[in-house]
Amino acid sequence: MEEFKMPLIGDKFPEVEVNTTHGVKKLPGDYAGKWFVLFSHPGDFTPVCTTEFIEFARRHEDFKAVNTELIGHSVDQVFSHIKWVQWIKENMNMEIKFPVIADELGRLGNRLGMLHPGKGTNTVRAVFIVDAEGYLRTIFYYPQEIGRNMDEILRAVKAIQTSDANKVATPANWPNNEVLGDSVIIPPASSEQLVEQRLKQKEAGEIECFDWWFCHKKLK
């Protein structure tokens, strides 16, 4: 199998044409102007993967509310995907409205580092958050045995979008940080002039600071 360099955060998502349960799609082109979360699963008709698909489907509208689409992926055939999503609807009362990629030859999985040599031909549980310009912004890898937390994936999307829009950083567990609550962090001052500016902003009540290098604010 052809080898590819592992993608890094900040890289452009590779241009690929894929077969899905919703027909042929071109990535990232078909999602231009939208964010998307591409997530792989080890196999159809498996318990952990089934629970994950149910939870992704539950949160589908929450992702759409922040201009983000979901795309599933595994090396199973499209016929298997179709039958599995039908089974989920009929037996678990949950409709899977997002497409699922059928990467039968493992080309995309290999290109994105989702195929682990120690785990046979199945993909690991990977998550790729891609922005509206087609750039990789976050990459998560999980072992096959551990189901993912969809709230954390959604939180990551919201945090990146907030950071981009406001030129800020977000603290641990944002927006529920024990120290800062839902406040965001202002990038540390990188010059003496910026230090003075931060102190003036603090005196004016525009921001709060523990020190000149650790300032934060509420978003309006």
Cis peptide before 47 (omega within 30 of 0): no
- Name the CATH superfamily, with its identifier, for domain 167-220: Antioxidant, Horf6; Chain A, domain2 (3.30.1020.10)
Give pTM, 2 decimals: 0.93
Is residue 3 within 8 Å of residue 110, measured between CB atoms?
yes
Tens digit of each residue's pLDDT (9 = 90 or more) over 50-93: 999 999 999 999 999 999 999 999 999 999 999 999 999 999 99
Phi and psi (nearest 5°) for 43?
Answer: -175, 150
Q: What is the pLDDT of residue 49?
A: 96
Whether residue 120 is predicted with pLDDT greater than 70 in this model: the reply is no
Give residue for tokens 């990459």: 139
Architecture of domain 16-148: 3-Layer(aba) Sandwich (3.40)
Smallest CA-to-CA distance from 106 within 44, 18, 22, 37 is with: 18
CATH 3.40.30.10, the chain: domain bounds = 16-148
Residues with a known catalytic role: 49
